[in-house]
Amino acid sequence: MRSAFDFAPFRRSTVGFDRLFDMLENSSGQSQENYPPFDLIKTGENQYRIELAVAGFKPEELEITAQQNVLLVSGRKSDETSDERVDYVYRGIANRSFERRFALADHIQVKGADMRDGLLVVDLVREIPEAMKPRKIDIGTGAERSAIGAATPRHRARRSTPRLNTPDHWR
C-alpha cells in the first residue's frame, strides 16, 4: 500500500536507505493490532527490553523467532477440554492466538527471554562490529610526507626506444 507522502526525492539522493523507506511506506496505511500490549524499555546504552502482557499463556504456548531485522512473537492457545466445563459469566482475559512483529535495527541481537508475573520479557542488545565502530585516524607530520616524496623519482628517464612520428625535442 502506498502512503500519502512521496519518498521518491529522498530515494534519489540517498544510498542504502531503501529498507527504511519501504518500512515507512508499508506501515503508514496498515492498522496495527494492539494485542498483546507491550512496553519497550531502554535498560542501558545498548540494552533494551520488550515486555509483553501474555496473561493466560504458558511458556510452551509461546514462540519467539528472531530473523534478520525482525523479531516475531506468537502465541497459540492449546485446545484444553477443561475450558469446556467452565461456565464463564464474563471473560475479560483474552484467550486468542496472536502474532506480534517488531522491526529491529541493524546489529540488534536477542539475548534471551523469560516469563515473569504474566509478562514475557525479551532482552535485546546492540552489538556493533569492530569494523563499524568509529576509530581515530592519526595525522602525520610534514617530515613523514617529505620522506615519502624523496623515495619517488621526480623525473622519468628518457625512453631508450625512439617514438615514431615525434620530433626529436619531445623525446
Domain coordinates of the chain in residue numbers? 1-31, 34-80+87-132
Say how far residue 117 (Cα) sits from the centre of its chain. 29
What is the model's pLDDT at position 141?
A: 80
Phi-psi region at 63: left, alpha or beta (left = phi > 0; alpha = psi -120 to 50): beta
Q: What is the rounded CA–CA span in Å between residue 25 and residue 142? A: 52
pLDDT in tens, 137-156: 888 887 665 555 555 555 55
Q: Cell numbers at residue 170, please?
A: 619531445
pLDDT at 160 over 50: yes
- DSSP-derived 3-state class of residue 66: strand
CA distances for 133 relative to 63, 92, 128, 167, angstroms: 33, 49, 7, 57
**pTM recorded for the entire structure:** 0.60
Q: What is the mean pLDDT of residues 99-116?
A: 91
Q: How confident is the model at residue 17 (pLDDT cuts 50, 70, 90)?
A: low
The CATH architecture assigned to 34-80+87-132 reads Sandwich (2.60)
